[in-house]
Each structure stands twice: as structure tokens, then as C-alpha cells.
A and B are shown apart, each in its own frame.
Chain A
Amino acid sequence: MSFSISSDVIDPEVLKRSLAADSAGACVCFEGWVRDHNEGESVIALEYEAHQSIAEQEGQKILLEARQRFALVDARCEHRVGKLAIGDCAVWVGVSAAHRGAAFDACRYIIDETKQRVPIWKKEHYRDGHSGWVNCATNVAESTTRV
């Protein structure tokens, strides 16, 4: 099981193969992609920032919790940092298990907890020239000024 923060392109096929095991009869993967809109705004690019060591520690905790709650064989999560374009894979979660129920449930648990707890921040750049940190009330004056 591993949770990693990476500035490299995510390769889902390579990650998926790492989950293979003779005892696994199911594999569920989730990919989070960069979308061209959010809350009515037209998004042209995203930037992710993380505190790498704390993010990886907290992420590893989430994977361990998933293993305690669900009958998993293996689980893995990788999250990008840096500047991403529309369509890029921002986060990948994959789970293998003997049966599909545990695999679906664990995959959902891992992505939901990751979004809530792991110190990763997302800055959206919008078509009209402004930008903003998602979920944050704190923003620099300049970034909330419409061009």
C-alpha cells in the first residue's frame, strides 16, 4: 500500500498492475481529471500544492484505515502537484480485493477521505484571467479582481 505525491504524469496502467495478486478477484480504480469548469467559472488550468511529508503520512493512514474497514488485498493512491491542464489526471486511487463490494467501498472511502484530510491545495485559473484557491475564504486581493 502506498500513497504518494508526485510532480510526474500519472500512469494508470502502471499503477493498476502494481495491485495485481492471485487472491484478488476485483480491482476498482478512480481517476480524478481536471475539468474545464467549477461553480459556474470557466477553468483553463489548475495548480496543486501539497505538504509532501504530511500529505503522504496522512494518506498512508487513510489506506491503513481502509484496510481495517474493508477486505482489501492492496490499495494505492497517487496525487499530482504542480500545474495541470484540462483533461490531466490529478489523482488516481486503485484498490484490489477478493470481491467487488469491498473494492468499490474502499476506493470510495480513500478518495473521499483524501479530499477531506490530506494537505493538498488547488488553485484554479479562470478564462477571464483571475484565479482562486478552492474552498478558501482567504485570497489575495489581486486574485479575486475580475479582469
Chain B
Amino acid sequence: MIEVTARYFAAFRERAGRDVESLSTAASTAAELYDELAGRHGFADSMGRCKVAINDELADWSSTLAAGDEVLFFPPVAGG
């Protein structure tokens, strides 16, 4: 298990009812963490339509997580 921080934006923040939380997780990748959190908070968007950033840099869903990482979950974008 590692300790990480999750941050939520827009629809994810409203759905989770918080913008940030500290977690202890067995997830080893960003994708596994999304699956865990989507189940817990009811995120309904498929990973392929969402983005993830780790420590303020966009990252691949397959990225490995390290203790202390801050993982940012972005729902589908809609600029313009």
C-alpha cells in the first residue's frame, strides 16, 4: 500500500463532493487508481475519455504511482 493524494476537477469534484483526498491504495498505476476511485465515487466516464496528471504533468494511464504522488483526475474536456 502507498499513500497518495487524489485531486478532482469539475464533474469529478462535484460527484466526489471534495476536491482533494489522501488515500492509502494498493493501486500500482494511475489506471488502477482511477478504477478504484470511480467505483467509490461513482465516476461514470470511461478512462479513454478522461485524462490524468501526476504531480502537475499530464501522464499516461499506465504510469506507475510512487508514494507521495499527487494524482489529478480530469473528466472529459469541453473547452470552446
Contacts and interface: CB of A to CB of B under 8 A. Distances in A.
Nearest to B58: A54
Contacts, number: 87
Contacts of B11: 121, 133, 136, 138-140
Interface-central residue, B9, B42, B77, by most chain A CB under 10 Å: B77
B80 interface: yes
Interface string A84-104: 000000110000000000000
Interface residues of B, number: 25
Interface-central residue, B10, B14, B51, B58, by most chain A CB under 10 Å: B10
A122 interface: yes
B78 interface: yes
Interface residues of A, number: 31
Interface in A7-51: 32, 48-51
A125 interface: no
Contacts of A134: 78
Contact of A118 (B15, B46, B56, B77): B77
